[in-house]
Amino acid sequence: MRPSINVNQTERIVRALERAGYQATPNRRLVARLVAATGGHFTAADLLERGRRERVKIGRATVFRALEVLTALRVVERLELPSGSHAYVVCDPDEHHHHLVCSNCGRSEDVADGELARLVDEVGRRHGYRIETHRLELFGICPLCAAATEVTDPGGRA
């Protein structure tokens, strides 16, 4: 249900571009590599910042255009954050799943439907709809962030 850790994300993204008929230009490869290096959700500004740190030349417009293409191919997904801003997360379009996103550190994890599939069918049936698809993102505090704040949290729940 979760892509293997050994999968080379950069190559996976590049292959998705090529399958869709896009040339894997050096710029697109570079964006693919920057995207693959992210460990959670990211913004175009994060990618530009990472590019600067690695001393590679990449322009804003290039990053924005590449992200647009990758979003259309659903290799990355655009998240509407509870704060009202948005970010992207690396995604696998071939595997239906949802994202657990940490509102504190931005880490993201894939989760399968599980019980949700039955609930979705039930809601559809009750309203006379044949449900074709659904989207759901879950935002909260990841275990690592929860552990880190436990000490200072006055109302600390177990």
Considering only 29, 104, 139, 148, the residue that binds Zn ion (CB under 5 A) is 104
| Binding characters for Zn ion, 61-80, by CB under 5 A (x = yes) | --------------------
Helix (H) or strand (E) holding 90: strand 86-90
* Piece of the chain touching Zn ion by CB under 5 A; list 21-29, 44-52, 55-63, 103-111: 103-111
Cβ–Cβ under 8 Å, residues 137 and 87: no
| Residue 28, beta-bridge partner list | none
| Binding characters for Zn ion, 117-156, by CB under 5 A (x = yes) | -------------------------x--x-----------
Nearest Cα neighbor of 69 from 36, 34, 98, 28 is 28
Say how far apart CA 66 and CA 44 lie, in whole Å.
Answer: 10
Does 34 engage in binding with Zn ion (CB under 5 A)?
A: no
Does 113 engage in binding with Zn ion (CB under 5 A)?
A: yes
Q: Which of residues 82-101 bind Zn ion (CB under 5 A)?
A: 91
| Contacts (Cβ under 8 Å, ≥6 apart) of 82 | 103, 139
Number of residues located near Zn ion, criterion CB under 5 A? 8
CB of 60 or CB of 96, closer to Zn ion:
96
Least spacing, CB of residue 123 vs Zn ion, in Å: 12
Q: What is the DSSP code (8-state) at residue 95? A: S
Least spacing, CB of residue 150 vs Zn ion, in Å: 13
Least spacing, CB of residue 73 vs Zn ion, in Å: 13
| Contacts (Cβ under 8 Å, ≥6 apart) of 131 | 120, 121, 123, 124
Say how many C-beta atoms besides its own lie within 10 A of residue 40's C-beta.
17
**Residues binding Zn ion (CB under 5 A):** 91, 102, 104-105, 107, 113, 142, 145
